[in-house]
């Protein structure tokens, strides 16, 4: 079986880690031999101190590789901040983005390879080899090898301007209303090697509970990706990132407001209405005027630990298999 998931950072990474736990412990031989392709959001990427930082790719890589700071959800465990302290002593900017020493090594290694002319997809493969992703049957594919950066249009005392998504999210904690969210460079972007094939040739396509606007929404904006998801023969099953009409962590509500969409599981499903077959929502969000053609199931969706995430991923997969069966018998 081939599963393709479209992922952002923490929500995507925790879901995929749960999916792997579910697959590897499954009594079903088909599930145990599953290949998982994760298409990662690179809209969050930013160049800091001359280094290319890919927060969402790294969150997936560290989470699946066992190197994540689990309490925080991102960054390396056991982290120290000597380099950042030294940079601050020089007055080097910016200081609002936290980078630990271990994490710095990832960005140095990545930037070195990019500097030699290696595309991001290959660089990511090199980095992921260290974390044992291939041994777990996982490929992590950046959505594109081109630079696409999510910028946010805001207006405050300094006037109306666009700032990098990370500045809005990390520095301002998304507390300034976003008037528009723009993916700079998207028109010129080409889907990364293997991305469209992984969607078209999948047996199951999963949308983890990632941010629907700045994670999944950005990946879907890469030319060809949305059409591939629409055209795939695989059932497409999504997991809601909301519990009781609120994001579990982060500011997805501020992102949804920026595009004029309500923070409800129904409205998020509406963003995917042209391709979504199955939708897993939290028990607290089960009651809504669901479209008749959407297969909606409800269960607790809090990924409190790996076992909880594995149960959620298993439920998403069960729904996909059920939908496959419906198609086969239709
Ligand atoms: P980011 O790039 O680190 O912000 O991570 P993602 O885009 O992958 O995921 C962020 C989304 O994950 C947020 O909208 C959260 O509401 C959602 N999320 C985080 N933890 C959980 C959880 O335990 N359950 C569910 N259902 N959603 C979660
Ligand atoms: Ca992100």
**pLDDT level of residue 299 (50, 70, 90 thresholds):** very high
Q: Where in the sequence is the domain holding 68, given as residue range(s)?
A: 2-146+188-329
Is residue 175 situated within a structural domain? no
Domain count, the chain: 1
Q: List, in sequence order, the alpha helices (H) in the chain.
A: 10-24, 29-32, 55-65, 82-89, 101-115, 120-130, 165-166, 195-200, 216-220, 225-231, 252-258, 265-271, 306-329
Share of the chain above pLDDT 90, in %: 96
Q: Return the structure tokens found at 99.
A: 């980078």
pLDDT range class, residue 218, cuts 50, 70, 90: very high
Residue 7, H or E segment: strand 2-7
- Domain contains 170: no
Q: How far does Cα 152 stand from its chain's mean position?
A: 18
Query: Please, which pLDDT band fits residue 30 given cuts at 50, 70 and 90?
Result: confident
User: For residue 151, is it within any domain?
Assistant: no
Q: Which residues surround ligand 2, an ion (CB under 5 A)?
A: 8-9, 44, 56
Residue 68 lies in a domain: yes
- Identify whether 178 is part of a domain: no
Q: Does the residue 141 lie in any domain?
A: yes
Structure tokens at 301: 């969706």
Helix H or strand E encompassing 160: strand 159-164
Contact residues for 268 (Cβ-Cβ < 8 A; gap 6+): 212, 240, 241, 242, 256, 261
Q: Which one, of 57, 48, 63, lies nearest residue 14 by Cα? A: 63
Q: Using the Cα atoms of residue 160, residue 166, residue 169 and residue 173 in order, give the sign of their dihedral.
A: negative
Burial 115-125, CB ≥16 within 10 A → b, else e? eeebbbbebbb
Residue 132, pLDDT score: 98
Phi, psi of 23 (to 5 degrees): -65, -45
Q: Does 330 have pLDDT greater than 80?
A: no
Which residue among 211, 284, 301 is best mutated to probe the pocket of ligand 1, counting the most ligand atoms within 8 A of its Cβ? 211
Distance CA 273, CA 87 (A): 47
Name beta bridge partners: 7.
40
Residue whose Cα lies nearest atom 24 of ligand 1: it is 302
> What is the distance in A from the centroid of ligand 2 to the CA of 288?
28
Averaged pLDDT for residues 256-270: 98
State residue 37's pLDDT score: 98
Predicted confidence (pLDDT) per residue in 118-174, tens digit: 999 999 999 999 999 999 999 999 999 999 999 999 998 989 999 999 999 999 999
Q: How far is the CA of 8 from the centre of ligand 2 (A)?
A: 5
Residue 10 in this model has a pLDDT that exceeds 80: yes
| Residue 158 included in any domain | no
Count the neighbouring beta carbons within 10 Å of the beta carbon of residue 298: 17
pLDDT class for 324, splitting at 50, 70, 90? very high
Helix (H) or strand (E) holding 138: strand 138-142
Residue for token digits 């298999």? Answer: 321
Tens digit of each residue's pLDDT (9 = 90 or more) over 50-94: 999 999 999 999 999 999 999 999 999 999 999 999 999 999 999
Q: CA-to-CA distance for 225 and 20, rounded, in angstroms? A: 24
Q: What's the gap in Å between 223 CA and the centre of ligand 1?
A: 24
Residue 223, pLDDT score: 98
Residue 292 Cα to ligand 2 middle (Å):
32
Say if residues 183 and 128 touch (Cβ distance below 8 Å): no
Residue at 160 is within a domain? no
Separation of alpha carbons 116 and 55, rounded Å: 21
Mutate to test the pocket of ligand 1, among 74, 169, 209 (most ligand atoms within 8 A of CB): 209
* Residues in the ligand 1 pocket, defined by CB under 6 Å: 7-12, 56, 59, 209-211, 215, 240-241, 243, 247-250, 252, 301-303
CA atoms lying within 13 Å on the CB side of residue 324: 16
Q: Tell me the pairing of strands 246-247 and 242-243.
A: antiparallel
Alpha carbons within 13 angstroms on the beta-carbon side of residue 223 total: 9
174-189 residue pLDDT tens: 999 999 999 999 999 9
Q: What is the residue with the minimal CA distance to atom 17 of ligand 1?
A: 241
108-112: long-range contacts at Cβ-Cβ below 8 A with a sequence spacing of 24 or more?
108/51, 110/51, 110/52, 110/54, 111/50, 111/51, 111/52
Find the ligand nearest to 243 CA: 1
Q: What is the CATH number of the domain that holds 68?
A: 3.40.50.10680
């Amino acid at each position: 079986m081939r599963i393709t998931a479209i992922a952002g950072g923490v929500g995507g990474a925790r879901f995929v880690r749960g999916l792997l736990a579910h697959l590897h412990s499954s009594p079903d031989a088909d599930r145990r031999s599953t290949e998982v392709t994760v298409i990662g959001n690179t809209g969050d990427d930013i160049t800091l101190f001359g280094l290319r930082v890919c927060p969402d790719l790294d969150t997936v890589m560290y989470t699946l590789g066992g190197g994540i700071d689990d309490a925080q959800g991102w960054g390396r465990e056991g982290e120290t901040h000597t380099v950042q302290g030294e940079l601050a002593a020089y007055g080097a900017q910016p200081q609002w983005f936290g980078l630990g020493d271990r994490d710095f090594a990832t960005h140095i290694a990545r930037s070195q390879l990019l500097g030699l002319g290696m595309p991001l997809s290959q660089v990511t493969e090199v980095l992921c080899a260290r974390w044992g992703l291939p041994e777990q049957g996982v490929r992590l594919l950046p959505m594109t090898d081109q630079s696409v950066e999510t910028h946010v249009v805001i207006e405050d005392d300094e006037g109306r301007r666009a700032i990098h998504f990370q500045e809005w999210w990390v520095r301002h904690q998304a507390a300034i209303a976003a008037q528009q969210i723009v993916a700079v460079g998207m028109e010129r972007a080409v889907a990364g090697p293997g991305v469209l094939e992984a969607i078209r040739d999948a047996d199951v396509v999963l949308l983890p509970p990632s941010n629907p606007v700045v994670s999944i929404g950005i990946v879907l904006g890469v030319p060809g990706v949305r059409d591939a998801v629409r055209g795939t023969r695989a059932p497409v099953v999504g997991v809601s990132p909301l519990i009781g009409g609120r994001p579990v962590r982060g500011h997805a509500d501020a992102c949804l407001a920026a595009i004029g969409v309500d923070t409800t599981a129904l409205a998020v499903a509406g963003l995917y209405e042209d391709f979504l077959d199955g939708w897993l929502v939290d028990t607290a969000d089960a009651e809504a005027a669901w479209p008749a053609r959407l297969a909606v199931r409800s269960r607790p969706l809090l990924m409190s630990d790996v076992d909880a995430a594995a149960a959620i991923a298993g439920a998403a997969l069960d729904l996909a298999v059920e939908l496959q069966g419906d198609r086969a018998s239709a």
